[in-house]
Amino acid sequence: MNDTDLAFMPASDLATEIRAGRISSLDATENVLSRIEASRETLNAFITVMDDSARQDARRADDAAAKGQSLGPLHGVPISVKDLINIKGLPTTFGSQLMIDNIAPADAVSVARLKAAGAVIVGKTTTPDNAHKLLTDAPLFGVTRNPWDLDLTPGGSSGGSAVAVAAGIGPISLATDAGASTRLPAACTGVVGLKPTLGLVPHNQVPDGFQNFIHLGIFSRTIADCALTLGVLAGEHGSDPLSMGVPTGEFMSGLSNASVKEFRFAFRPLLGNEILAKEVRAACENAVGVFEKLGGAVTQIDEAFENAEPTWRVLQQSNWAVRFGKDMEENADRMDSSLVEGVREGLSYSGPDLQRAMYGRTRLFRAVQSWFGDVDFVLTPTISRRPLKASHRALDPIEIDGQNVGDMRRSWCPYLNLFNLTGHPAISIPCGWTDDGLPIGLQIIGRWFADAGLLAVAAAFEAAQPWADHRPPHIPR
């Protein structure tokens, strides 16, 4: 087996091989570390690399396997973590020049669970300044680039995590999704991106546990790896009120014989937007055909739906205003200009503005929840057009098929922040490719806590139209 084949081995297979002693965790980890180094100048997906501790953990994993000790489901598997999530003793920079010296006092709950499952954490991935935008660049580290085309963005805000998985720099990455941040980069880079049901994976770092809509997200190249990781992460924790009483258990048992027969699907090609790129529509309509051939009943829904972005914007920018507003003017020269603008907008909102947005969130939830009286799953494009240029500025308008469609968040990914606000589980999977070889994503949405069923439906599509063998051209060699 060459280094590239090892790098693209699924985590579920790699863990099996490490437990059996046929592959060493140290070899797999060294391979990933060398790929991080080789990709710094091109992809730039990591802020912090944990060379020494990763090697130590890998050696311990190999020793445990050799002794026949009881091993976790991710034993010895090298993975990465977005640099918004705490790892004890390391900086959590949030991609910000202001947070370089912010040393985490303890592991996040999710990180502690990954470690307990045997994972070897190799580093922390890039994110724009405080994860505020749909691109991955920041004054702290520069520009992260898409391995399918280095002129393009991988999307944001979890761009580094998506690039790492897409380019064979670890099979799994833990990230966040507050308004698009896992599913958008997944679509841009041709990997799986899951936003679980709100609260299923506890998030103990959010300052408001009750009104929270920031989810922890999972990147992988296969549905099985995503399900394996979700089983490790899911379950209540006392720090997160939204996690109390959530279902636990493993999520892989329904994948091997997954079927969509007798399931009812709604395909919504538009969701608060008016323009969808022709190449994206064609790929998504082809995916709808796959579900129909597999026995699913699909109905296309063309009725207009409210764009969730105005509601999301007030809630998110109010959050930024509280977090950054007090000292912003003295720190503005060290912050991304688009974050500064967002904080200023947040400071302009009144109390009634914020309360109306909270009401709006409930209205959106009830509207989406009503869909599931008639269908089991909803299908949408993940994003409305191919990846933007890496040089695109966050506040500049975007075009779709040559037409100016205005604001990036309202027009590029109206399909995404809606389900952050409503909390429904949603996954982006590769569903096709543009004529010049760029990936296109399909989003599948399910009922609350139907995450296992969502993964099974995605697995049925994966079996019918596999994607994991598609490797981007710009990967470490």
Residues annotated catalytic, as ranges: 82, 157, 181
Radius of gyration of the chain (CA): 21
> Residue 164 to residues 8, 101, 152, 171: CA-CA distances in angstroms?
11, 24, 15, 8
Cis preceding linkage at 12, omega within 30? no
Distance CA 351, CA 361 (A): 16
The DSSP letter of residue 131 is G
Q: Which two tokens stand for residue 447?
A: 């009922």
Using an 8 Å Cβ cutoff, are 190 and 439 in contact? yes
CB neighbourhood size of 325 (10 A): 14
Nearest residue to 319 via CA among 412, 211, 158, 411 = 211
Using an 8 Å Cβ cutoff, are 170 and 141 in contact? no
Q: Which two tokens stand for residue 210?
A: 């009750």
Nearest residue to 20 via CA among 79, 84, 80, 65 = 65
Using an 8 Å Cβ cutoff, are 102 and 92 in contact? yes
Using an 8 Å Cβ cutoff, are 25 and 83 in contact? no
Cis preceding linkage at 253, omega within 30? no
Nearest residue to 221 via CA among 12, 417, 388 = 12
Q: Which two tokens stand for residue 195?
A: 């936003």
Nearest residue to 395 via CA among 311, 436, 348, 336 = 336
Using an 8 Å Cβ cutoff, are 59 and 51 in contact? no
Q: To 5 degrees, how large is the angle CA 403–CA 409–CA 410?
A: 65
Q: Which two tokens stand for residue 185?
A: 């980069």
Q: Are strands 377-381 and 120-125 parallel, antiparallel or unpaired?
A: unpaired
Using an 8 Å Cβ cutoff, are 228 and 194 in contact? no
